[in-house]
Every structure is written in structure tokens, then in C-alpha cells.
Amino acid sequence: MKNRLIAVVFTAVIFIGSITAWCYPVKEYSKEENRALQKMPEFNFQRLIRGKYIKEFENFTTDQFPLRNGWVAVKSYSDLALGKKDNGKVYFGSDETLFSMDDIDLKQQRVNVKLLCKMLDNIKSVNPKVGMSVLIAPTAPQIWKDKLPMYAQVPSMKQVDDVFEDKVLKSGAKYIKTYSVLKENQEKYIYYRTDHHWTTYGAYLAANEFKKRNGFSPRALSDYRIKRVSNNFYGTNQSKTNIENISPDSIYGYVLKKQADIKIERTEQGNRKITHRDGLYFPEFLKEKDKYSYFLGGNSPLIKIRCDHRGEAAERGRTLLVIRDSYANCFIPFLTDEYDKILAVDFRYFKGGLRKLTADEGVTDVLVLYNMVQISNDRNLVYGTV
């Protein structure tokens, strides 16, 4: 009788929730998780037979479920109370560390290797002398393995290197590894505990590796004014749990003591609006949920950064094109001392015209910077080949 009652109540909750969902307005974006939400998928029999429609519809009902954030919190607290070490989306690690439960789509990864090499070849066809680098960043589970639950299954950085390195080198680009330097500094604050990004210090270590491989002098920490700009940052992994009794992260800004005069031009998402401002950082976002957008103002189809080196004897004569995911947002500021202009392209929003951009802007150097999961699973790299 008791089991029947539980089953009836559970079924009623699902039924009422599903009916209520149809009455709620569809949300396009989650500020809490900093991601686009699944819209109602378009139906056709071909997509139904392939299983794509069912998968997208399942994601739609999950993303658009009424009072979703509250139910996520209930599930996470229930999992913790039962002694579980994950809630299906996030691993509950030691030291209040939350890790994304990421998988790599091996089929898409093989496609992306070919797309990446084709993209590099296309850029080289515009400027045969262009300097090219590829930096695939390890994610926190690779470096902080000792903080993970014992049973946790995480993607392998070695597997990613094995797939990408040889092909990238044959394309004439440098393949820059940062695993070793991050592992050597694993006791330091190199990743956020509640978010999937590396911290400003983690990006600083990686940027110095890029500089070494490209003939620039690495910067010492003493070259920067370092300031904690927020001590209450909760990132996307915390939003996937909605657990509140966890310590927040801190965000730090790094500014060179002899900083170039910086002007940023951003192409905003959706309406193609262009905005201009001075400086590398956007402190207004520190009052918002998405505090990581403090770096360069967050995601954008195209960002142009002009670096005036204040009357130094000569300009650098270099323009860098960064093809990137959001790991580059806090990385790019460390490169402003070496270039006159930096362009940052995000293929989630920038749809084609890469060769034209390379020619029009006089690009001399290219950096492809993605984290290991995104470069493997991303379905937008094709826009770099058209």
C-alpha cells in the first residue's frame, strides 16, 4: 500500500509538472547556468527516426520544467544525504570542489581534428607566413584528480593530445601543452571550485607557456597589480546543484604596471550591435550572477582589442587572431603587451568569413584556444572553414 501511494504521488507530480510546463513561457537562457536552454524542437519524421527529436524533446522538458532550480537543489541535497558523490551532472569533490561530469564524443572529436586542420590551412592560404599555435587546456578533473570521488570517470588529456597533436604539427602549427605547469602548481588556486573555468592565475601560467613557445619573455607576477575584485562568485557547477552551503570563489584581476592603453570593440550577440569601451575588464558584471563576464565582457561573436603602447619606440607590428571558447576570456589580457591588435572569434556566434577577417585585419599570428572537452565536442568549428 505504501509503495502504491509513493508511485501515485510521484506520477502526479510528474503529470502536473508536465502540464504546468506548457503554461510557462519558454526561457531561452539560464543566467544561473550561463547557457542557452533547449527550445521546443522542430518535428519531422527523419529526426524522429534518428532519435534526435526525442533527445532534444527530453532536454526541452528538463530545461523548461517549472521551478526547475528548486527541484535541482532538492535532488542535490537528497543525493548528499544519501551519501552519493554526484547528482548526475556534477561530482561532489573534496574541499568543497564541484566538477562537471563531462564526456567526450569521440566521433565528433575525429571530425573536429579535420575541421581544425582545414581551418589552419585556410588561414595559411591568406598569409603563408602566419604564425599558428594551438593550446588545448586541461580541465580541473585532470589536474585535481585527488579531489574527485574514487569512482569518477573523467576524460583523458593524454587521449586528446594523442588525437590532436600530430595532426596540428603537420599543419605547421605549434602544439602548446600546459598540463605539466598546471600540475606542478596544483596546490595553488588555478581552477575555480564552483565553476568549470581556470582562474586568472591558471590562465597566467598557461599564457607564459604560450609566450615561451612564441619567442616572448614570460612575465613575473611582480609585473602585475593583482586585485581581488570579488569574493562571492558561484559558477556554473554550483548552478547545476543549487547547493547554497558551499564557500564561494574569488575572482582576481591582473593589470600590468606598465599597461598599454586598451580599447575594446565588441560585436554583441543577436543584434550585431557594436559597443566600445576602454580597458580589459567589465566590473559591472561583478554585481551579476555571471561574474566571469568581468573578463572582456563575456562571450561575443567578435572582439577587437587595440593596444596602444604609449609612445614606445616602435609598434609590435603584430596582430593576433584568437579562435576560442570562454577559457580565453581571462587568458587574452596577458597577451596585450605583445600585440598591437588582438581579435577574438567565438564560432558559437561568429558564422563564417574567417579568411576575409584574416586578410582585412592583417593577421600575423593565430592562437586556437579551447578546453579539452569543448574542442572535442563543439559542433561549430565548421564555421571556421567557410
Taking only the tens place, the pLDDT of each residue in 141-182 is 999 999 999 989 999 999 999 999 999 999 999 999 999 999
Residue 77: its H or E element: helix 68-81
Of residues 275 and 135, more confidence is placed in: 135
- Give this prediction's pTM: 0.82
pLDDT at res. 71: 47
**Cα→Cα distances 207→185, 249, 339, Å:** 14, 22, 14
State the Cα–Cα distance between residues 367 and 211, nearest whole angstrom.
Answer: 11
State the Cα–Cα distance between residues 50 and 33, nearest whole angstrom.
Answer: 29
Residue 133: its H or E element: strand 131-137
For residues 7-12, give the mean pLDDT: 53
For residue 371, which of 326, 332, 333, 323 has the smallest C-alpha distance?
326
Q: Three-state SS for 103?
A: coil
Asked which of 67-81, 188-202, 357-371 is least confident by mean pLDDT, the reply is: 67-81
Burial of 282 (0-12, 13-18, 19+ CB in 10 A): middle
Which 3-state string (H, E, C) describes 60-74? Answer: HHHHCCCCHHHHHHH
Q: Residue 2 pLDDT more than 80?
A: no
**Identity of the amino acid at 293:** S
The residue behind cell 570517470 is 153
For residues 280-284, give the mean pLDDT: 95
Sign of CA dihedral 20, 23, 25, 28: positive
Q: pLDDT averaged over the chain? A: 86
In this prediction, residue 82 has a pLDDT band, given cuts at 50, 70 and 90, of very low
pLDDT, one tens digit per residue, over 24-49 is 566 655 555 555 566 666 766 666 67
